[in-house]
Amino acid sequence: MKNFLAHLTTQRKLGLFALVLGFFAIFAGSPYNRTKITLNAKDLALIAEKNADNVSVQDVANWIIQGKVDFRIIDTRPASEYAAYHIPMAQNIRLSELMDQHFYPTDKLVLYSDTGEDAAQGWFILKGQKYQAVYILKGGLDTWKNQILFPRLPDNPTPDQLASFNKIKEISKFFGGTPQTGTKEEQSQPKVKNLPKLQLPENIPNATPRKRRKEGC
Amino acid sequence: MNAPLFKFGLFGNEVSLIVAFIIGIGFGFFLERAGFGSARKLAAQFYFRDMAVFKVMFTAIITAMLGLFYLSWIGWVDLSQVYLVPTNVWPDLLGGLILGVGFVIGGYCPGTSCVAGATGKVDGYWFILGLVFGIFAFGEAYPWISDFYNSSYMGQITLPQLFNISYGVLVFVVVLIALGGFLLAEKVEKYFAKKDAEAAR
Protein backbone atom coordinates (compact mmCIF):
# COMPACT_ATOMS: atom_id res chain seq x y z
CA MET A 1 0.00 0.00 0.00
CA LYS A 2 2.77 2.38 1.05
CA ASN A 3 4.69 1.39 -2.01
CA PHE A 4 1.66 1.96 -4.19
CA LEU A 5 1.16 5.50 -2.87
CA ALA A 6 4.85 6.33 -3.19
CA HIS A 7 4.75 5.57 -6.90
CA LEU A 8 1.83 7.86 -7.60
CA THR A 9 2.31 11.38 -8.90
CA THR A 10 0.91 14.26 -6.80
CA GLN A 11 -1.95 14.66 -9.25
CA ARG A 12 -2.94 11.03 -8.89
CA LYS A 13 -2.71 11.22 -5.11
CA LEU A 14 -5.03 14.22 -5.11
CA GLY A 15 -7.36 12.43 -7.51
CA LEU A 16 -7.44 9.45 -5.18
CA PHE A 17 -8.14 11.77 -2.25
CA ALA A 18 -11.08 13.31 -4.15
CA LEU A 19 -12.36 9.83 -4.93
CA VAL A 20 -12.28 8.85 -1.25
CA LEU A 21 -14.03 12.06 -0.20
CA GLY A 22 -16.61 11.57 -2.95
CA PHE A 23 -17.22 8.01 -1.83
CA PHE A 24 -17.82 8.96 1.79
CA ALA A 25 -20.13 11.77 0.66
CA ILE A 26 -22.66 9.08 -0.31
CA PHE A 27 -23.06 8.19 3.35
CA ALA A 28 -22.75 11.68 4.78
CA GLY A 29 -26.40 12.61 4.31
CA SER A 30 -27.77 15.87 3.02
CA PRO A 31 -25.73 19.02 3.54
CA TYR A 32 -29.07 20.81 3.76
CA ASN A 33 -30.12 18.82 6.80
CA ARG A 34 -31.61 21.56 8.91
CA THR A 35 -34.12 19.74 11.05
CA LYS A 36 -31.68 19.48 13.94
CA ILE A 37 -30.71 22.63 15.75
CA THR A 38 -28.34 23.38 18.56
CA LEU A 39 -29.20 25.91 21.22
CA ASN A 40 -26.96 27.75 23.61
CA ALA A 41 -29.19 27.62 26.67
CA LYS A 42 -27.27 30.22 28.65
CA ASP A 43 -27.31 32.75 25.81
CA LEU A 44 -31.01 32.30 25.25
CA ALA A 45 -31.76 32.59 28.96
CA LEU A 46 -29.80 35.83 29.18
CA ILE A 47 -31.55 37.26 26.13
CA ALA A 48 -34.95 36.38 27.56
CA GLU A 49 -34.02 37.75 30.98
CA LYS A 50 -32.96 41.08 29.49
CA ASN A 51 -36.23 41.25 27.56
CA ALA A 52 -34.15 41.44 24.40
CA ASP A 53 -36.31 38.71 22.88
CA ASN A 54 -39.35 40.83 22.20
CA VAL A 55 -40.47 44.05 20.56
CA SER A 56 -43.54 46.06 21.45
CA VAL A 57 -46.50 46.50 19.13
CA GLN A 58 -45.80 50.25 19.08
CA ASP A 59 -42.26 49.64 17.79
CA VAL A 60 -43.47 47.39 15.00
CA ALA A 61 -46.25 49.84 14.10
CA ASN A 62 -43.66 52.60 13.87
CA TRP A 63 -41.34 50.50 11.70
CA ILE A 64 -44.19 49.86 9.26
CA ILE A 65 -45.18 53.54 9.18
CA GLN A 66 -41.60 54.64 8.67
CA GLY A 67 -41.27 52.21 5.79
CA LYS A 68 -38.31 50.37 7.26
CA VAL A 69 -37.15 47.44 5.19
CA ASP A 70 -34.81 45.59 7.53
CA PHE A 71 -37.41 43.44 9.24
CA ARG A 72 -39.91 40.72 8.41
CA ILE A 73 -43.09 39.93 10.27
CA ILE A 74 -44.06 36.28 10.56
CA ASP A 75 -47.57 35.18 11.44
CA THR A 76 -47.51 31.65 12.87
CA ARG A 77 -51.30 31.20 13.08
CA PRO A 78 -53.36 28.91 10.80
CA ALA A 79 -53.94 30.17 7.28
CA SER A 80 -57.66 30.77 7.87
CA GLU A 81 -56.98 33.09 10.79
CA TYR A 82 -54.26 34.77 8.79
CA ALA A 83 -56.71 35.32 5.96
CA ALA A 84 -59.23 36.88 8.35
CA TYR A 85 -56.75 39.44 9.63
CA HIS A 86 -53.03 39.88 9.89
CA ILE A 87 -50.65 42.69 10.64
CA PRO A 88 -49.78 44.46 7.37
CA MET A 89 -46.66 43.03 5.70
CA ALA A 90 -46.83 39.81 7.75
CA GLN A 91 -46.20 36.50 6.01
CA ASN A 92 -48.03 33.38 7.11
CA ILE A 93 -45.53 30.70 8.13
CA ARG A 94 -46.60 27.86 10.43
CA LEU A 95 -44.14 26.54 12.99
CA SER A 96 -43.71 23.30 11.05
CA GLU A 97 -42.64 25.28 7.98
CA LEU A 98 -40.32 27.60 9.86
CA MET A 99 -37.32 25.28 9.46
CA ASP A 100 -37.59 25.33 5.69
CA GLN A 101 -37.51 29.09 5.34
CA HIS A 102 -34.40 30.87 4.20
CA PHE A 103 -34.31 34.33 5.66
CA TYR A 104 -31.63 36.88 5.18
CA PRO A 105 -29.42 36.29 8.24
CA THR A 106 -29.19 39.96 9.12
CA ASP A 107 -32.92 40.68 8.90
CA LYS A 108 -34.93 41.33 12.03
CA LEU A 109 -37.51 38.57 12.29
CA VAL A 110 -40.61 39.40 14.30
CA LEU A 111 -42.86 36.47 15.20
CA TYR A 112 -46.40 36.72 16.43
CA SER A 113 -49.38 34.51 17.20
CA ASP A 114 -52.60 35.30 19.07
CA THR A 115 -51.10 35.44 22.53
CA GLY A 116 -47.46 34.81 21.83
CA GLU A 117 -46.98 31.18 22.86
CA ASP A 118 -46.58 29.82 19.35
CA ALA A 119 -44.37 32.76 18.53
CA ALA A 120 -42.15 31.95 21.49
CA GLN A 121 -41.74 28.39 20.26
CA GLY A 122 -40.89 29.74 16.83
CA TRP A 123 -38.34 32.01 18.47
CA PHE A 124 -36.43 28.95 19.72
CA ILE A 125 -36.55 27.33 16.30
CA LEU A 126 -35.14 30.39 14.55
CA LYS A 127 -32.60 31.11 17.27
CA GLY A 128 -31.39 27.54 16.93
CA GLN A 129 -30.79 28.19 13.25
CA LYS A 130 -28.40 30.96 14.22
CA TYR A 131 -30.54 33.88 13.14
CA GLN A 132 -29.27 36.80 15.13
CA ALA A 133 -32.21 39.15 15.41
CA VAL A 134 -35.33 37.15 16.24
CA TYR A 135 -38.08 38.80 18.26
CA ILE A 136 -41.47 37.94 19.63
CA LEU A 137 -44.19 40.54 19.27
CA LYS A 138 -44.92 41.30 22.91
CA GLY A 139 -48.47 40.24 23.76
CA GLY A 140 -49.09 38.91 20.26
CA LEU A 141 -51.97 39.85 18.02
CA ASP A 142 -54.27 40.35 21.01
CA THR A 143 -52.13 43.23 22.19
CA TRP A 144 -51.88 44.57 18.64
CA LYS A 145 -55.67 44.71 18.52
CA ASN A 146 -55.99 46.23 21.99
CA GLN A 147 -53.27 48.81 21.70
CA ILE A 148 -52.98 49.64 18.00
CA LEU A 149 -56.31 48.91 16.33
CA PHE A 150 -58.66 49.67 19.19
CA PRO A 151 -56.79 51.65 21.81
CA ARG A 152 -59.00 52.79 24.67
CA LEU A 153 -58.90 56.00 26.63
CA PRO A 154 -59.57 55.24 30.26
CA ASP A 155 -62.29 57.17 32.07
CA ASN A 156 -61.09 60.40 33.65
CA PRO A 157 -57.68 60.29 31.99
CA THR A 158 -54.67 62.04 33.41
CA PRO A 159 -52.99 64.54 31.04
CA ASP A 160 -50.24 61.99 30.40
CA GLN A 161 -52.72 59.32 29.42
CA LEU A 162 -54.52 61.77 27.17
CA ALA A 163 -51.31 62.79 25.42
CA SER A 164 -50.24 59.25 24.74
CA PHE A 165 -53.75 58.35 23.59
CA ASN A 166 -53.74 61.19 21.09
CA LYS A 167 -50.47 59.92 19.71
CA ILE A 168 -51.64 56.34 19.43
CA LYS A 169 -54.89 57.52 17.87
CA GLU A 170 -53.04 58.61 14.76
CA ILE A 171 -51.17 55.32 14.56
CA SER A 172 -54.44 53.46 15.00
CA LYS A 173 -56.11 55.36 12.19
CA PHE A 174 -53.13 54.64 9.95
CA PHE A 175 -53.79 50.92 10.34
CA GLY A 176 -57.53 51.37 9.83
CA GLY A 177 -58.38 50.93 13.50
CA THR A 178 -60.99 52.69 15.61
CA PRO A 179 -59.76 54.35 18.79
CA GLN A 180 -62.24 53.75 21.60
CA THR A 181 -63.26 56.87 23.47
CA GLY A 182 -66.31 58.52 24.90
CA THR A 183 -69.31 56.99 26.53
CA LYS A 184 -69.69 53.64 28.12
CA GLU A 185 -72.24 52.70 25.47
CA GLU A 186 -69.66 52.81 22.75
CA GLN A 187 -67.21 50.95 24.90
CA SER A 188 -69.61 48.12 25.47
CA GLN A 189 -69.76 47.41 21.78
CA PRO A 190 -67.74 44.39 20.76
CA LYS A 191 -64.32 45.66 19.90
CA VAL A 192 -63.63 43.39 17.00
CA LYS A 193 -66.91 44.23 15.33
CA ASN A 194 -65.20 45.33 12.19
CA LEU A 195 -61.57 44.49 11.84
CA PRO A 196 -59.98 46.82 9.34
CA LYS A 197 -59.57 45.72 5.78
CA LEU A 198 -56.11 44.55 4.94
CA GLN A 199 -55.22 47.40 2.71
CA LEU A 200 -52.44 49.63 3.82
CA PRO A 201 -52.76 53.34 3.32
CA GLU A 202 -51.28 54.35 0.01
CA ASN A 203 -48.60 56.57 1.42
CA ILE A 204 -46.72 53.64 2.89
CA PRO A 205 -43.52 53.07 0.95
CA ASN A 206 -43.09 49.40 1.70
CA ALA A 207 -46.49 47.80 1.56
CA THR A 208 -45.33 44.60 -0.07
CA PRO A 209 -42.53 42.50 1.34
CA ARG A 210 -39.38 43.75 -0.26
CA LYS A 211 -37.74 41.94 -3.08
CA ARG A 212 -34.56 40.17 -2.27
CA ARG A 213 -31.48 41.95 -3.36
CA LYS A 214 -30.40 40.85 -6.82
CA GLU A 215 -27.54 38.43 -6.42
CA GLY A 216 -25.17 36.49 -8.55
CA CYS A 217 -23.53 37.37 -11.77
CA MET B 1 -18.75 31.78 12.90
CA ASN B 2 -20.65 30.62 9.86
CA ALA B 3 -20.23 31.19 6.17
CA PRO B 4 -21.30 32.84 3.88
CA LEU B 5 -19.68 35.54 6.00
CA PHE B 6 -21.39 38.42 4.19
CA LYS B 7 -24.84 36.91 4.59
CA PHE B 8 -24.24 36.48 8.30
CA GLY B 9 -23.40 40.13 8.62
CA LEU B 10 -19.67 39.82 9.30
CA PHE B 11 -19.05 42.75 6.98
CA GLY B 12 -21.20 45.25 5.13
CA ASN B 13 -21.70 46.17 1.49
CA GLU B 14 -18.60 48.36 1.21
CA VAL B 15 -16.23 45.81 2.72
CA SER B 16 -17.81 43.12 0.58
CA LEU B 17 -16.56 44.99 -2.50
CA ILE B 18 -13.01 44.88 -1.14
CA VAL B 19 -13.39 41.17 -0.41
CA ALA B 20 -14.74 40.62 -3.92
CA PHE B 21 -11.77 42.55 -5.32
CA ILE B 22 -9.29 40.38 -3.43
CA ILE B 23 -11.05 37.17 -4.49
CA GLY B 24 -11.15 38.45 -8.08
CA ILE B 25 -7.42 39.17 -8.05
CA GLY B 26 -6.83 35.69 -6.65
CA PHE B 27 -9.02 34.14 -9.32
CA GLY B 28 -7.19 36.06 -12.04
CA PHE B 29 -3.82 35.10 -10.58
CA PHE B 30 -4.56 31.40 -10.70
CA LEU B 31 -6.06 31.64 -14.19
CA GLU B 32 -2.84 33.29 -15.31
CA ARG B 33 -0.66 30.71 -13.56
CA ALA B 34 -2.63 27.96 -15.30
CA GLY B 35 -1.60 29.59 -18.58
CA PHE B 36 -5.06 30.94 -19.36
CA GLY B 37 -3.78 34.42 -20.20
CA SER B 38 -2.79 33.04 -23.58
CA ALA B 39 -5.33 32.53 -26.35
CA ARG B 40 -3.04 29.88 -27.87
CA LYS B 41 -3.28 27.75 -24.76
CA LEU B 42 -7.05 28.22 -24.55
CA ALA B 43 -7.66 27.57 -28.24
CA ALA B 44 -5.54 24.40 -28.05
CA GLN B 45 -8.34 23.01 -25.90
CA PHE B 46 -10.69 23.06 -28.87
CA TYR B 47 -8.21 21.19 -31.04
CA PHE B 48 -7.65 18.60 -28.27
CA ARG B 49 -3.92 19.45 -28.17
CA ASP B 50 -3.91 20.75 -24.60
CA MET B 51 -6.69 19.81 -22.20
CA ALA B 52 -5.52 22.18 -19.44
CA VAL B 53 -8.73 24.23 -19.53
CA PHE B 54 -10.82 21.14 -19.00
CA LYS B 55 -8.54 19.85 -16.25
CA VAL B 56 -8.25 23.14 -14.37
CA MET B 57 -11.97 23.89 -14.53
CA PHE B 58 -13.06 20.41 -13.52
CA THR B 59 -10.49 20.42 -10.71
CA ALA B 60 -11.96 23.71 -9.49
CA ILE B 61 -15.46 22.28 -9.69
CA ILE B 62 -14.78 19.14 -7.66
CA THR B 63 -12.57 21.00 -5.16
CA ALA B 64 -15.31 23.57 -4.53
CA MET B 65 -17.98 20.90 -4.49
CA LEU B 66 -16.20 18.66 -1.98
CA GLY B 67 -15.22 21.68 0.11
CA LEU B 68 -18.76 23.06 0.28
CA PHE B 69 -20.26 19.63 0.88
CA TYR B 70 -18.01 18.78 3.81
CA LEU B 71 -17.89 22.29 5.28
CA SER B 72 -21.67 22.40 5.35
CA TRP B 73 -21.71 18.86 6.70
CA ILE B 74 -19.65 19.94 9.71
CA GLY B 75 -21.74 23.08 10.00
CA TRP B 76 -19.35 25.83 8.91
CA VAL B 77 -21.22 26.79 5.77
CA ASP B 78 -24.95 27.29 5.52
CA LEU B 79 -25.59 26.07 1.99
CA SER B 80 -29.15 27.37 2.05
CA GLN B 81 -27.68 30.89 2.12
CA VAL B 82 -25.44 30.33 -0.89
CA TYR B 83 -27.02 32.01 -3.87
CA LEU B 84 -28.06 29.76 -6.74
CA VAL B 85 -28.58 31.27 -10.15
CA PRO B 86 -32.10 30.38 -11.33
CA THR B 87 -32.33 28.16 -14.39
CA ASN B 88 -34.07 29.19 -17.62
CA VAL B 89 -33.43 26.19 -19.87
CA TRP B 90 -33.57 27.58 -23.42
CA PRO B 91 -32.11 31.02 -22.69
CA ASP B 92 -29.30 29.34 -20.74
CA LEU B 93 -28.57 26.95 -23.61
CA LEU B 94 -28.54 29.76 -26.16
CA GLY B 95 -26.38 31.94 -23.91
CA GLY B 96 -23.97 29.05 -23.40
CA LEU B 97 -23.79 28.49 -27.14
CA ILE B 98 -23.05 32.16 -27.84
CA LEU B 99 -20.36 32.20 -25.16
CA GLY B 100 -18.89 28.96 -26.51
CA VAL B 101 -18.78 30.19 -30.10
CA GLY B 102 -17.19 33.45 -28.92
CA PHE B 103 -14.67 31.44 -26.93
CA VAL B 104 -13.66 29.37 -29.98
CA ILE B 105 -13.48 32.39 -32.29
CA GLY B 106 -11.78 34.83 -29.94
CA GLY B 107 -9.73 32.42 -27.87
CA TYR B 108 -10.93 33.80 -24.55
CA CYS B 109 -13.85 33.58 -22.19
CA PRO B 110 -14.83 36.77 -20.32
CA GLY B 111 -12.65 36.00 -17.28
CA THR B 112 -9.58 34.95 -19.23
CA SER B 113 -9.86 38.00 -21.52
CA CYS B 114 -9.40 40.18 -18.43
CA VAL B 115 -6.42 38.07 -17.42
CA ALA B 116 -4.98 38.47 -20.92
CA GLY B 117 -5.62 42.22 -20.80
CA ALA B 118 -3.95 42.48 -17.40
CA THR B 119 -0.84 40.77 -18.75
CA GLY B 120 -0.71 43.16 -21.69
CA LYS B 121 -2.06 41.02 -24.54
CA VAL B 122 -3.53 43.22 -27.26
CA ASP B 123 -6.10 40.63 -28.36
CA GLY B 124 -7.23 40.62 -24.73
CA TYR B 125 -7.98 44.36 -24.95
CA TRP B 126 -10.03 43.84 -28.09
CA PHE B 127 -11.88 41.02 -26.45
CA ILE B 128 -12.70 43.19 -23.41
CA LEU B 129 -13.98 45.92 -25.74
CA GLY B 130 -16.22 43.36 -27.41
CA LEU B 131 -17.37 42.19 -24.01
CA VAL B 132 -18.38 45.69 -22.94
CA PHE B 133 -20.08 46.27 -26.28
CA GLY B 134 -21.98 42.99 -25.88
CA ILE B 135 -23.19 44.00 -22.43
CA PHE B 136 -24.32 47.35 -23.82
CA ALA B 137 -26.09 45.75 -26.79
CA PHE B 138 -27.80 43.24 -24.51
CA GLY B 139 -29.00 46.01 -22.22
CA GLU B 140 -30.36 48.05 -25.13
CA ALA B 141 -32.07 45.03 -26.71
CA TYR B 142 -33.48 43.81 -23.41
CA PRO B 143 -37.08 45.07 -23.96
CA TRP B 144 -37.31 42.98 -27.14
CA ILE B 145 -35.75 39.82 -25.77
CA SER B 146 -37.02 39.88 -22.19
CA ASP B 147 -39.85 37.43 -22.96
CA PHE B 148 -37.39 34.83 -24.18
CA TYR B 149 -34.86 35.76 -21.48
CA ASN B 150 -37.41 34.89 -18.78
CA SER B 151 -38.91 31.83 -20.51
CA SER B 152 -38.67 28.16 -19.45
CA TYR B 153 -38.03 29.22 -15.88
CA MET B 154 -37.22 26.36 -13.49
CA GLY B 155 -36.25 28.35 -10.40
CA GLN B 156 -33.19 27.72 -8.27
CA ILE B 157 -33.03 24.04 -9.07
CA THR B 158 -30.11 21.74 -8.31
CA LEU B 159 -29.18 18.42 -9.93
CA PRO B 160 -30.10 16.32 -6.86
CA GLN B 161 -33.57 17.90 -6.96
CA LEU B 162 -33.88 17.35 -10.70
CA PHE B 163 -32.83 13.69 -10.63
CA ASN B 164 -34.28 13.04 -7.19
CA ILE B 165 -31.05 11.59 -5.82
CA SER B 166 -29.18 12.46 -2.65
CA TYR B 167 -26.50 15.16 -2.61
CA GLY B 168 -23.86 12.62 -1.55
CA VAL B 169 -24.53 10.38 -4.55
CA LEU B 170 -24.31 13.36 -6.88
CA VAL B 171 -20.99 14.41 -5.31
CA PHE B 172 -19.61 10.91 -5.89
CA VAL B 173 -20.87 10.75 -9.47
CA VAL B 174 -19.36 14.15 -10.32
CA VAL B 175 -16.02 13.09 -8.82
CA LEU B 176 -16.13 9.92 -10.95
CA ILE B 177 -16.94 11.94 -14.07
CA ALA B 178 -14.07 14.33 -13.31
CA LEU B 179 -11.49 11.60 -12.66
CA GLY B 180 -12.64 9.67 -15.72
CA GLY B 181 -12.44 12.89 -17.70
CA PHE B 182 -8.87 13.54 -16.51
CA LEU B 183 -7.72 10.09 -17.59
CA LEU B 184 -9.47 10.46 -20.93
CA ALA B 185 -8.00 13.94 -21.42
CA GLU B 186 -4.47 12.61 -20.92
CA LYS B 187 -5.10 9.86 -23.45
CA VAL B 188 -6.49 12.37 -25.95
CA GLU B 189 -3.48 14.65 -25.48
CA LYS B 190 -1.08 11.75 -26.04
CA TYR B 191 -2.99 10.59 -29.09
CA PHE B 192 -2.89 14.01 -30.77
CA ALA B 193 0.74 14.61 -29.78
CA LYS B 194 1.65 11.34 -31.51
CA LYS B 195 -0.43 12.22 -34.55
CA ASP B 196 1.19 15.66 -34.79
CA ALA B 197 4.63 14.12 -34.46
CA GLU B 198 3.86 11.71 -37.29
CA ALA B 199 2.52 14.49 -39.46
CA ALA B 200 5.66 16.55 -38.84
CA ARG B 201 7.89 13.75 -40.01
**B71 vs chain A: nearest CA distance in angstroms?**
9
Structure confidence at residue A1 (pLDDT): 67
Domain locations along chain A:
37-204
Backbone region of residue A185 per phi and psi (left: phi > 0; alpha: psi in -120 to 50; beta: other values): alpha
Tell me which of B178 and A161 has the higher pLDDT.
B178
Determine phi and psi for A54, rounding to 5 degrees.
-140, 160
**Subunit contact B7:A104, Cβ cutoff 8 A:** yes
Q: What is the pLDDT of residues B88-107, one digit of tens each?
A: 999 999 999 999 999 998 88
Q: What is the mean pLDDT of residues B193-200?
A: 88
Q: Are B92 and B15 in contact (CB under 8 A)?
A: no
* CATH class label, A37-204: alpha beta
DSSP secondary structure, B70-90, as one string: HHHHTTSB-GGGS--PPEEHH
Selection from A41-55, A94-108, B182-196 with the highest mean pLDDT? B182-196
What integer is the mean pLDDT of B17-23? 94
Q: List the single residue in A with minimal CA-CA distance to B13.
A: A213
Q: Which of A9, A103, A106, A134 to mutate to test the interface with B (most CBs of B within 10 A)?
A: A106
- Please report the pLDDT score of residue B122 as a whole number: 93
Among A residues 4-43, those touching chain B with beta carbons less than 8 Å apart: 11, 15, 18-19, 21-23, 25-32, 34
- Rounded CA-CA distance A152/A166 in Å is 11
Exposure on the CB side of residue B44, measured as CA atoms within 13 A: 19
For residue A188, pLDDT beyond 70: no
Q: What is the share, in percent, of chain A residues with pLDDT greater than 70?
A: 80
Judged against a pLDDT cut of 90, whether residue B142 lies above it is answered with yes
ipTM of this complex: 0.81
* In chain A, % of residues over pLDDT 90: 11
For the segment A158-174, the average pLDDT, to the nearest whole number, is: 83
pLDDT in tens, A63-81: 888 888 888 999 999 988 8
> Considering only CB atoms, which chain B residues are within 8 Å of A106?
7-9
User: What pLDDT is stored for residue A103 in this prediction?
Assistant: 81
Among A125-134, A175-184, B141-150, the range scoring the smallest mean pLDDT is: A175-184
Q: Say what the pLDDT of residue B191 is.
A: 93
Range A151-161 average pLDDT: 80
User: pLDDT value at position A207?
Assistant: 45
Q: What is the pLDDT of residue B113?
A: 93
Arithmetic mean of pLDDT over chain A: 79
Helices marked H in A26-115: 41-49, 57-66, 79-84, 95-98
